[in-house]
Structure 1
């Protein structure tokens, strides 16, 4: 549907789908640079759970919020567990986990809301962030789709939850698949492929018992199967592992790295 582009303000850089501005939503996928992290010196680590100095993480979050224009104090976050549990975010959940990890929504990999000016924020480093926007109501969703969430059909479940909770029609959804590890770099084994029934076409052979997995294609396929129009799906097609100078990559950095943030909110 729309091309992917980068924006920079006050030393903070993020990616977005520019055409989404017309949808009445704001969003962004943060990059690696411009922060104060100890874990990755000078890195914009946005996560409180990876062993970084909490005060410096909060400074990173405040910098990103100021540059991107969202209200950090109202932002809802969740403790992701590579599952498919989704949470409905109401005004009562505004601000959960934004300034204190202890208050984040536990055991959740997808957040949905129809509240105005209530940002939803997920954290990742190679996993696939999927954003959903209902063009006929104020409902939105952010989904964290690693391989487990992807083969567990979290994208499809997100579309269904929007329908069940807010009456969203799948054909009215605009979807965005953000930067993540690409099919060029994401090698998996038979264990993963065996759990991905129906998605065999997303795996390219790469040696005996190994494959290159296309998470972008897998999540796109799910969205289409759930009723989202193909022309309404945007894919950034930016590999976090290839572009480790701009993104944190869990695989390339062998687990010791920061986390990017995907943020989405409906503006008033």
Structure 2
């Protein structure tokens, strides 16, 4: 069953909600934006969430405000970072609330994972094929987001984020709920020898049962390239880090296959908008 449920209408932003999590905790909101229901002009049409792609800032801010309103938070809660395809994790405190919501200069610098246990903060990060990772620790009421492109994936940002949550909040991996959101799938993600050389060592660290299992993560092609499933690789990293497989939601949405619903940097030649992941626990 698809974990990210598409919630859309002609008048509202297109949202993909982690409905099961939200049903279990009415204070929690988590999900992923689609490409429709905003005000941006082509080629960012229409729900572009990124301030860094050449779109008019006023349109991006308006789009963000529409999403925040739709999920029931004030715009002042929206908190984000300048992503650099690394594996650094930042602890978001009450003083950080709202950073990056309306300007890049105020965003948290050089960070690809955010975590908080502060109610009322809405964490957000941005994508156009990379893999959004979600973490929810119900025991300590802490949440996190991580942005995993191939560089973040091979740097095991999922594991690094979990370790940071353990250090800061006492999070226990066996109790964590995790989710892997809409992103480019193994069906569409072709990589060259540079990426292959970085991916293979991390696959060797997994306890895979034979060549068939390995081929679900990477399929070598006759042209020397390969098709890589970043979503499944991140799932394996989460499992190795101690998260129970039954506690990991894995989306089937592929941003490459569904350009009608999502922006895809790979399929649209780099000139396109960005989706956003978000997660937050409302104040009581």
Smaller-chain TM-score range? Answer: over 0.9
Alignment of 1:1-268 (within 5 A): 3-8=3-8, 10-21=11-22, 22-23=24-25, 24-40=27-43, 42-196=45-199, 197-199=201-203, 201=214, 202-268=217-283
1:82-136: per-residue Cα shift (whole Å, max 9, x none)? 1111111001100000012210001110001010010000011000000000021
Q: Distance in 2 between matches of 1:240 and 1:70?
A: 26
Which consecutive unaligned segments of at least 5 residues does structure 1 have? none
Which consecutive unaligned segments of at least 5 residues does structure 2 have? 205-213
TM-score by length of 2: 0.91
Deviation at 1:39, TM superposition (A): 4.3
Give the count of matched residue pairs.
268
Q: Distance in 2 between matches of 1:41 and 1:113?
A: 30
1:192-245: per-residue Cα shift (whole Å, max 9, x none)? 121121316221122232111001110000000000000000011110011001
Deviation at 1:42, TM superposition (A): 3.8
User: Structure 1 stretches (4+) deviating beyond 2 angstroms?
Assistant: 1-4, 8-11, 38-42
TM-score by length of 1: 0.96
Q: Distance in 2 between matches of 1:140 and 1:209?
A: 40
